Amino acid sequence: MKQIVKNIPNFITLLNLVAGFTAIIFAFNINTIAYAPYYIFLAAVFDFFDGFAARLLKSNSVIGKELDSLADVVSFGIAPGVLMYQMLQFSSFNFLMFEKSTFVNIIVASLIPAFSALRLAKFNIDERQGDTFIGLPTPASAILIASITIIFFSSDSLLGLGALSYTYIGLIAISVVDSFLMVCNLPMFSLKMKSFSLKKYSIQILFLFICLLCLILMSIKALPVIIVFYILISVFLYVKERLVGKAA
């Protein structure tokens, strides 16, 4: 019984991987691609709860850490990479000859799984990443791509980042910028809160409140805005810290 309880976090991690694998299967079929982003969202939920379960059950392990990274490569690297490839393929009909652009689309889309893997490898050996992240976390990157996919295949969405995602050059720019953000040295705040202290976690609580408000007002289309907002807050906090440091 003790061994079963100890492996609950690993089981949740495997559910993360299965959700990511399902997203990949659905992404390859035009009739089911609309469902693929939601399985990435589900994988992100499992990714949150496997760590939560590990801390609650005090069953952190080396194999759990490695398994988590392997699952994340599938769910937050390969799956969003396939979604980006499909969007590039569809949008390239209106930009270049389809046959000539396919190779370019493969290269651009492969940036996402490649840099996701690099980001996860760096995370595993970087002792600085506790209360903050260094670079955009892979779940946030995957949620960005997944939400853009929903907007891309929705005929009634021409709002903000959604309008950009309808253009071929825009998708390429998103892939390049997203990949760069995952491996850059920009500190980004973590949403992991060990208490409900308003003073200590004011940024996290404010961000979550704004996220909830955006979701109520814009539904699923708010997700790209939320991820961009998360990046902008992190940039602001980084610049503020640097300026305070120089003033001191």
Residues 160 and 225: beta-carbon distance below 8 Å = yes
Q: Give the whole-angstrom CA distance, residue 71 versus residue 44.
A: 11
> Tens of pLDDT along 115-152?
999 999 888 777 666 567 888 999 999 999 999 999 88
DSSP string, 8-54: HHHHHHHHHHHHHHHHHHHHT-TTTGGGHHHHHHHHHHHHHHHHHHH
Sign of CA dihedral 29, 30, 31, 36: positive
**Which tokens sit at 214?**
């955006």
Q: Give the whole-angstrom CA distance, residue 171 versus residue 163.
A: 10
Residues 68 and 47: beta-carbon distance below 8 Å = yes
Q: What is the pTM of this model?
A: 0.85
**Mean predicted confidence (pLDDT) in 153-182:** 74
Q: Give the whole-angstrom CA distance, residue 139 versus residue 121.
A: 14
Q: Does position 194 have pLDDT exceeding 70, yes or no?
A: no
The set of long-range contacts for 28-34, using a CB threshold of 8 Å and a minimum separation of 24, is 28/82, 28/86, 33/83, 33/86, 33/149, 33/153, 34/150, 34/153
The set of long-range contacts for 30-33, using a CB threshold of 8 Å and a minimum separation of 24, is 33/83, 33/86, 33/149, 33/153
Q: Domains for the chain: give ranges and CATH numbers.
A: 2-189 (1.20.120.1760)
Q: Does position 96 have pLDDT exceeding 60, yes or no?
A: no
> How many residues are there in the chain?
248
> Tens of pLDDT along 44-72?
999 988 877 777 777 777 787 888 889 99
